[in-house]
Structure 1
């Protein structure tokens, strides 16, 4: 009987640990837009950044049904991340717009995971490092949470 109770407790603990993790399927995107980026609403005074953002002109959505998620380097272990609306050309940044370990995303989901790291790799990360979870909304990115625990699933 004691083993059954311990086993049930372990299952419930594992289920609750997974319950707080954000998953792509929990944030479905609207139907994929057939539009492409016609123009980019460039941030004022950002000529270098604008050069990278303008590379998205002509691109089809690759994130959240109607955005082009784009990246460019900003130094060692640094990537800038931006989402460009194919409908308006408006540019949105998650948090400060930077990543140290890339990001993972899907066309059919509004979830963006910045700095994804698996559970094994989480044992070796520096104190300042976090994986961030953002939801894409009509008003831009909304921070859902952050973790240092590592993901329990493969982020591709």
Structure 2
């Protein structure tokens, strides 16, 4: 009897040990799965990556047509003419981008088509705030708010505005709005592809 009881005890003990082992393996599996899931979530891109090469445009090699000024551009005719004459084709295959200041930390401009001399709005009109410069956390200004290339129809603007932080006078909240457009050559206009907002803290002097 004692041998039978011992055999039964060992058998039950073995069963309990197996159950505990399976539970431990399950806990480890769930823990590893959770870590992997978190890692994949962090690794997943927050938004689509737009590449200039995905929106190609052949670069015009012919002679430049004289600027065709209209009433809309009369006030900026000198800037446009000089910028067009001295500038290079820099956008969508045939356009010379001409920019000028429009106030503190503000930039505006026009596109001149080298094939026809016609002028188009450089700044897409769907921006929610004036085109102001953006700043890094160390207080340095980012060099550009327009991003484009000669052989691409992709056009990107980075526009920043600011808000006070309660109880803080040394820093402000910066909202960087990134607009991604493509130029539609047949329609001669921009099409908005993406709009995202990045939030950060920068020195308070950035807003002045």
Does the pair score TM above 0.5? yes
Summarize the Cα distance change of 1:17–1:52 in structure 2 as closer, same or farther, 3 Å threshold. same
Of 123, 142, 157, 1:114 maps to 157
TM-score (norm 1): 0.72
Give the distance between the partners of 1:87 and 1:141, measured in 2 at CA.
19
1:53 counterpart SS class = helix
1:52 matched to 2:79: yes
Matches within 5 A, 1:1-156: 1=29, 2-11=31-40, 14-19=43-48, 21-27=49-55, 29-35=56-62, 37-55=64-82, 56-57=84-85, 59-93=87-121, 94-96=123-125, 99-101=131-133, 102-115=145-158, 124-126=173-175, 130-138=177-185, 139-149=188-198
Larger radius of gyration: 2
> Which ranges in structure 1 are unaligned for 5 or more consecutive residues?
118-122, 151-156
Is there any run of 5+ residues in structure 2 with no aligned partner, and where? 1-28, 134-144, 161-171, 200-208
Q: 1:40-98, CA deviations, whole angstroms, 9 ceiling, x for partnerless residues?
A: 22231532222221120364311122111121111101111322111111222232396
Higher helix share: 2
Q: 2:45, 2:98 → 1: CA distance?
A: 34
C-alpha distance in 2 between matches for 1:116 and 1:78: 10
CA contact (8 A) 1:132 1:146 kept: yes
Once the 2 structures are TM-superposed, how far is the Cα of residue 113 of structure 1 from its aligned partner?
0.9
* Secondary structure in 1 matching 2:79: helix
Cα displacement (A) at 1:144 = 1.8
Q: Matches of 2:63 and 2:102 in 1, distance apart?
A: 26
Structure-2-length-normalised TM-score: 0.57
Which one has more relative contact order, counting CA pairs under 8 Å at least 6 apart? 1
